[in-house]
Structure formats: structure tokens, C-alpha cells
Amino acid sequence: MNPSNMNAKYPHHCLAFILTAASVVFSSNCYALNPIIQTIYTADPAPMVHDGVCYLYVDHDENKLVNNFFTMKDWRCFTSTDMVNWTDHGVVASLHNFKWAASGWGGGFENGAWALQTIERDGKWYMYCPLQGRGIGVLVSTKGPFGPFTDPIGKPLIGAKYDSIDPTVFIDDDGQAYLCWGNPRCWYVKLNQDMISYDTSSGDHGLVVQDMTVEAFGKRSKEDPKRPTSYEEGPWLYKRNKLYYLFFAGGPISEHLGYSTGSSPTGPWKYGGVVLPAEGRSFTDHPGVVDYKGHTYLFYHNGALPGGGGFHRSVCVDEMKFNPDGSIVQMTMTKEGAAPVATLNPYQRVEAETIAWESGVKTAKNANVGVYVTGINDGDYIKVCSVDFGDTGAAKFMASVAGTTEGGAIELRLDDPAGKLIGTLNVKATGSPDKWETQSCDVNGAKGVHNLVLKFTGGNGPLFNFDWWKFEYPTIEK
């Protein structure tokens, strides 16, 4: 996706999603599939909603581990307007954004980009980033949710000695902002209006530790004198009606997700119970909760992708339900994920990196087109859910492609990889992997709401790169 194509203040206006009439009936198989990102390992989800778009910030588990431990160098962002298709915007910040991260425990610039959260205030975007063993830093963007981000203070906002991992940021209805974090204790500060400093009038120069009581956070299932409660890490502040929620990852390992409620963002807290029991192949978990289009969603991570585990995690999402008294209906991890809250309009440009499920492909980013799909081989595919072709149906398919290899093709199939074939684009070589051309083919039989599968076929080795696609209506004869 090329940022130069964006013609509004925020880039979400260029996303190729549209909510059609409320009367649309979604197909029974038009659900997201967990994990929702499959091109890389992702963890510690931090969703936020702004101007009708759900932004999902994540950290990134590298494929190759260093010292058989968490190996994490950057933070990334994905977006959706339907909760089933997610558009990859690539790296939005990394350890290199913090000059003070060059040395210290955690491997300098090479490791330690842990669980972040981002928030918008007064047209600026603030990203709170823990750097393994070095404290919590803050980055600011004045250009939008994808950056560029800069470090306004040139040092940690929260020092390393204050259990400084897993920050959550929250702005209350009265405008007061809070930052909460910590393992094994849960801390908070009241942020100043500038969002890059905090009130120093209470606690340890402004840093306050929560009362770590069993009443507040529940009793630990395995007795530990240093950790009497079930609270482990990963706090997440949320408000519904007049009740405040503090979600957290609970111990002992393997972690579950629990919650407490209170009358203010700083408590006092009352333990509410388990939201999501420990499941999957990851020994950690991290909650992210957001309201979107009339629904509440819990984001979490597990080790469900091939090769997944405690150091190779993947983000998932499911809808969360509440009882009349505000308590939460206990959930389980699902493969189906969330139901769509909108349909995708295929007659607008859709970025190729907009994916509900994929097999085999990867994404990359360059200065020419931004993020694009690459690593395409014979038999790979991309599935996009809840595509509304309308009653008239499509007559033509267009795609922006680049590559030096002849013989590759994009088969357009409905619903699944072996579904009805509605057209085939035989991709012609463009002369270079970064020389982009728009190529097209005829389409027949695409009507109504379906999943769309873009299935790639061809010879051995990488076939071509893929930037965007769209359909066209039939030409009306005058």
C-alpha cells in the first residue's frame, strides 16, 4: 500500500472495506479464522479503535530464537473494519527508535521489543513500548497511526526497576490518562496532559503500586510466597458503563486471562474470575479488549500456528459477552474467531495484504508500493471473507503484479480453495520483481456474499509479487 495514495488525514480512508446495507445476510462460513495473522508470529495484542477502524498493534516473535528465549525486534500494525479481514501495514516502530536502547540487558537493538499499547489524543499517536530490562519508553507520531514515530524524551518514561513491562494506557471520561504495567506487581501513574510525563505527587515520585491482595486479584492456584495472587502480568484497562475493568494474565504458568473490577481506574479492585482458561501451546498470554461496532472483543495469543509455542505465538480474537451485573461470561479459545460486522467491497481497490487466512505467502515492504504480498509459490492462496459481489455480479478482475517469471496464475474461487472457479488471471512477466503492472481477466459467476480465494498456480519457485486487486461491474450498453 503506497502512502502517497492516501488523500485524507488518516490512512484508514484508503482501506478497501465498506459496510453494506444492514439487511445483508452473511454466509455461515464467513467467519474469521484464528489465529488472525498467519504470515508471521505475533503476540501481545493491543487493539484500539479510531474513526471507525480497528487498529491492532502487536509485537513480533522472530522465527530464529537467540538463546532459546523471546527474540523480538519490532512492533507492527494491522487494521480491519469487519473483524475478519486484516490489512498488514508492516513495521511501525522498532528498538532503533530508542537511541538509549543501544546497550543494556536484552541485547541492545537486537532484542527486547515487548508488549506495547498505542493511544490517540488530540491528533497525536502515543506508543508505550517496554524494552526488555531497560524500562518503558514512549514514542509519538503527529502523522497518523503508522508513524513515523519519534522518541520525544530520549530516555525511559518508566525506569527498569519498577517491574516495567506490559504497559496499558487509558484515558478516562474526565480526560485524565493513566499508565498501568508490571510483573510481578501492578503499578500505575497518572499521565500529564502531554502524555509523555506523569504526576509525581504520590507514591514513589508518582509511581504507585496496586494493593496486591487476594481480594483484588484472586488467589494463586499454586502457593507462592512472593506471588500470593493470580496476577502475573499484562494488565489492560477498560471501562464499560460506569464499571472499570483490569484484565490481566494470571499465573502460575501456563497463564490464563483473568479480570478484576473497580469504581476507578486505580481501584480498589475486586477479583471477578477467569475470562479465558489457559489453553494452546503458549505458556504466556496477554489480553486486549476493545468495543467495535456494537460488540466487545477479547484479543489474546496462543501457539496454534505450525511451529508455534511459548516463543512463537499468534494473535487471536473472539467476541466477549457480559452478564447483566457486568460480570463476564467465561470464554474458550476458538478456531472460528469472530463473525464479520461488515462486508468487503470488491469494486474498490483492495490491498493484496488484506487477509483473513493464507497458506504459504509472506509480506514485504518497500518505498515504492509499501506492503505487498511475496513468497508466492504454486498451491499457495489467500482467503478474504464476506466479499459482497452484489446482485449484478462482477465481470472483470484486475491486479497489480510484478515479476520476471512467466507461467504463474491467480485462480479466483468462491468460498474455499477448491470452490467454484470464476476466473483465472494468467500473470505475464513484468521484467522485474519491483516493476508493477495492472493486469486483468474476465470473470463469470460472482454474485452475492462469498469468501473469495485467490489461489496461486504455476511452476517451481517464486511466481510473482502482488500489490492490490479489484473487480469491475459489467459494462452497461447504451
Residue 99 is predicted with a pLDDT of 94
> Please, what sign has the CA dihedral across residues 356, 357, 361, 364?
positive
User: Looking at the domain assignment, is residue 42 inside a domain?
Assistant: yes
Q: Do the Cβ atoms of 302 and 313 come closer than 8 Å?
A: yes
Residue 459 is predicted with a pLDDT of 87
User: Looking at the domain assignment, is residue 228 inside a domain?
Assistant: yes
Q: Do the Cβ atoms of 116 and 75 come closer than 8 Å?
A: yes
Residue 452 is predicted with a pLDDT of 98
Are residue 176 and residue 279 in the same domain, yes or no? yes
Are residue 55 and residue 150 in the same domain, yes or no? yes
CATH number at residue 376: 2.60.120.260
270-287 pLDDT, tens digit each: 999 999 999 878 999 999
CA–CA separation, 41 and 35 (whole Å):
10
Are residue 203 and residue 70 in the same domain, yes or no? yes
Q: Which residue in 176, 179, 157 sits closest to 166, CA to CA?
A: 179
Are residue 305 and residue 355 in the same domain, yes or no? no
Q: Which residues contact 36 (CB under 8 A, 6 or more apart)?
A: 78, 86, 315, 316, 317, 337, 356
User: Looking at the domain assignment, is residue 314 inside a domain?
Assistant: yes
Are residue 392 and residue 447 in the same domain, yes or no? yes
Residue 107 is predicted with a pLDDT of 66
Which whole-number Å values give the CA distances from 310 to 51, 58, 70, 113, 358, in the listed order?
A: 34, 16, 8, 16, 22
Are residue 276 and residue 178 in the same domain, yes or no? yes
User: Looking at the domain assignment, is residue 339 inside a domain?
Assistant: no
Domain extent for 245: 31-320
Helix (H, G, I), strand (E, B) or coil at 224: coil
* Domain boundary, last residue among 320, 336, 363: 320
Tell me whether strands 381-388 and 409-414 are parallel, antiparallel or unpaired: unpaired
Q: Which residue in 160, 158, 159, 153 sits closest to 168, CA to CA?
A: 158
Q: Do the Cβ atoms of 310 and 283 come closer than 8 Å?
A: yes
User: Looking at the domain assignment, is residue 331 inside a domain?
Assistant: no
Encode the chain (478 residues) as per-residue pLDDT tens digits: 443 333 333 333 333 333 332 333 334 455 668 999 999 999 999 999 999 999 999 999 999 999 899 999 999 999 999 999 999 999 999 999 999 988 766 567 889 999 999 999 999 999 999 999 999 999 999 999 999 999 999 999 999 999 999 999 999 999 999 999 999 999 999 999 999 999 998 888 889 999 999 999 999 988 888 899 999 999 999 999 999 999 999 999 899 999 999 999 999 999 999 999 998 789 999 999 999 999 999 999 999 999 999 999 999 999 999 999 999 999 999 999 999 999 999 999 999 999 999 999 999 999 999 999 999 999 999 999 999 999 999 999 999 999 998 889 999 999 999 999 999 999 999 999 999 999 999 999 999 999 999 999 998 889 999 999 999 999 875 5
User: Looking at the domain assignment, is residue 404 inside a domain?
Assistant: yes
Residues identified as active-site: 44, 232
Are residue 121 and residue 258 in the same domain, yes or no? yes
251-267 pLDDT, tens digit each: 998 999 999 999 999 99
**What are the φ and ψ backbone dihedral angles of 96, each rounded to 5 degrees?**
-70, -15
Are residue 294 and residue 217 in the same domain, yes or no? yes
Q: Give me the number of domains the chain comprises.
A: 2
**What are the b/e assignments for 67-76, b being 16+ CB within 10 Å?**
eeebbbbbbb
CB atoms within 10 A of CB 264: 12
Structure-block grid coordinates of residue 426 = 494468467
Residue 33 is predicted with a pLDDT of 87
56-71 pLDDT, tens digit each: 999 999 999 998 999 9
| Portion of the chain with pLDDT greater than 90, in percent | 84
* Domain boundary, last residue among 299, 320, 341: 320
Are residue 185 and residue 299 in the same domain, yes or no? yes
CA–CA separation, 128 and 139 (whole Å):
7
CB atoms within 10 A of CB 133: 15
User: Looking at the domain assignment, is residue 304 inside a domain?
Assistant: yes
> Please, what sign has the CA dihedral across residues 148, 152, 155, 158?
negative
Residue 30 is predicted with a pLDDT of 58
Q: Do the Cβ atoms of 48 and 118 come closer than 8 Å?
A: yes
CATH number at residue 149: 2.115.10.20
Are residue 284 and residue 183 in the same domain, yes or no? yes
Q: Do the Cβ atoms of 17 and 44 come closer than 8 Å?
A: no
Structure-block grid coordinates of residue 296 = 466487545
Q: Which residue in 336, 298, 341 sits closest to 52, CA to CA?
A: 341
Q: Which residue in 109, 105, 219 sits closest to 165, CA to CA?
A: 105
User: Looking at the domain assignment, is residue 343 inside a domain?
Assistant: no
Are residue 295 and residue 360 in the same domain, yes or no? no
